[in-house]
Amino acid sequence: MIRHDYAFPLRIDAGSGQVARAGYADHVRQLIRQLLLTSPGERVCLPGFGCGLRRMVFAPQTDALAATAQIHVRQAVTAWLPDQVALTDVTVLAGADPGNDLDEGELLVTVRYTLVDTQTAATLTVRVV
């Protein structure tokens, strides 16, 4: 069975004139991206939804910040998407590290996961500015 879900952001497909759809893997990637870039309290009907990463870009860029962000991502993904993904690894790089290619105040979050329905491995990298 081929599964299709609504695409995010919600939009009309120019070709069909209907709501755009995304395949299962793309849909889950979009869900994770939404979760990472949403701050708790931002959604009225789901006040606990989100990760709060955008607030962290204003904190001092240290290893402690990267570790805190990693914990927040792990907790959010396991709390909100346990039926969609099995989390494999989370890596967070902060902008203050001279070894990475980030500006001050940026975070680079890499989430490695396995899709529950298809048991395929996937990776999502999000730059938080």
CA separation (Å) from 125 to 20, 64, 89, 110? 23, 20, 12, 4
pLDDT for position 97: 61
Q: Between residues 4 and 87, which one has the greater pLDDT? A: 87
pLDDT for position 52: 87
CA 102 to CA 26: how far, in whole Å?
Answer: 26
Q: Give the highest mean pLDDT range of 5-14, 61-70, 81-90, 104-113.
A: 81-90
SS3 44: coil
Say which CATH topology domain 4-128 has.
Nuclear Transport Factor 2; Chain: A, (3.10.450)
CA 109 to CA 89: how far, in whole Å?
Answer: 11
pLDDT at 1 over 60: no
CA 58 to CA 113: how far, in whole Å?
Answer: 28
